Structure 1
Amino acid sequence: MSLEMMEQIIEVVFAILILLGAVIAVISVLGLIRLPDVYLRSHAATKSATLGVLLILLGAFFYTWFVHDFFSIKLLLGILFVFITSPVAGHLNARAAYRSGVALWKGSVRDDFREAIKQERQLEIEEIKNRN
């Protein structure tokens, strides 16, 4: 196998990574359109969009590294920041929606957060009473 052929194979692999990331991002959009409530939509947006963006950035990072011999710190930092911040932002958005009273979808099976909120509110009330 010649060096030129190996380079072409590597380019195809990185292009597949980028295309797979784009397909997963499209699936995320379909989830945003089709899912019934804010919590499921947040889940679709957070999980699949994060994976889609990470695959696109990874494909671009490896392409620039192996094909152009350029190690891009910006792409690497972008991958790191998306990996860390996107799930946290999705969680905080869903938590804010729950705390502001957005109802769960009628087909939701469990609501584990309700009991935790009740306990937290009881503690806050007791703390206020103790201050006075």
Structure 2
Amino acid sequence: MIGNRMSNIALLAASAIICSAPPATAARYDGYWNMVAETTNGHCGYIEIGLEITGGRIYSTSGSFAFYPIQLGGRVSGSGQARMNAVAGPRIAYGTGRFGEFSAGGTWRGSGPSGLCSGVWSAERS
């Protein structure tokens, strides 16, 4: 009985460690990136954002829109597929795309007090 409990505890601990670890392949996108979001619909303009990817998680390191700092977060999978959310004051945007070894790109859409915007984004490794 004690042996079974110890085996179950060890199995649960190993599962928790394996499931919480980021995929090893996502690490190839780790580092600093320079992103540009360009508006193709609406009036949001041209927005520069600094990114850091760590263990498949995407974080903003710099950038502002309408005098508000941009708080961007998201995930990139081991195959390079990415999903991101960005907030700048009362404005919010969502993006999807794909990262490669040295460059990335995709689309985004957002909304704020003055209406809707959408466009494309691209990024290059710093």
Larger gyration radius, structure 1 or structure 2: 1
Same fold (TM over 0.5): no
Which structure shows the bigger proportion of residues in helix conformation?
1
Which structure shows the bigger proportion of residues in strand conformation?
2
TM-score (norm 2): 0.32
TM-score (norm 1): 0.31
